[in-house]
Amino acid sequence: MPVSPNELHIGSKAHPFSLPATDGNVYSLRDFDEKDVLCVIFSCNHCPYVKAVEERINSIAGKYSDSSFVLICINSNDDSVYPEDSFDEMKKRSTEKGFVFPYLRDESQTTAKAYDAICTPDIFLYDKERVLKYRGHTSELQSPCNLVCRLLLEKKEPARA
């Protein structure tokens, strides 16, 4: 992950991207326009923190797949430093683990830098207008789940922390 001194703040707009995915498609931010809630998780293959929650992430993506929610993961790690984070290894892991979400490769780290992603996993939750409503880590994974439910079911502005 790139090191960033900045931090994306609640209320910031999502940055556009166009990235290849392990399923053979190229996804852009606009591909998810029809969804009311977008969850972007900066992830990777090698991180023990990611490995500890990837089943939970996959479960959340599957649980809400028929709703107005979409979850995507983006791997921005340098594969010369972490060979297990190469695009080929991402494809293998996605297949082995049965990922039901788009798993995107940000080889240039441009997207990670735009989002100020500083670790894995790093969670960004956006509303329909792609305004950042939540940013956190998987130690707080229940919080984004609750927020997703509130955004989807109540269609109200979430309370500010």
Q: Where are the domains of the chain?
A: 18-153
Give Cα 132 distance to the centre of its chain.
12
Q: How far is 91 from 95, CA to CA, in rounded Å? A: 6
What's at 40, amino acid-wise? V
Pick the CATH number of 18-153 from 3.40.30.10, 3.30.300.30, 3.20.20.140, 1.20.1050.10: 3.40.30.10
Residue 12 has pLDDT above 70, yes or no: yes
User: What's the confidence (pLDDT) of residue 118?
Assistant: 87
Residue 158 has pLDDT above 60, yes or no: no
Q: Which position has the higher pLDDT, 56 or 105?
A: 105
What pLDDT, in 10s, does the model give residues 87-100? 999 999 999 999 99
Q: How far is 79 from 107, CA to CA, in rounded Å? A: 8
Write out the two tokens for 137.
């880590």
User: What's the confidence (pLDDT) of residue 65?
Assistant: 80
User: What's the confidence (pLDDT) of residue 161?
Assistant: 44
pLDDT band at 63 (very low <50, low <70, confident <90, very high): confident
User: What's the confidence (pLDDT) of residue 8?
Assistant: 76
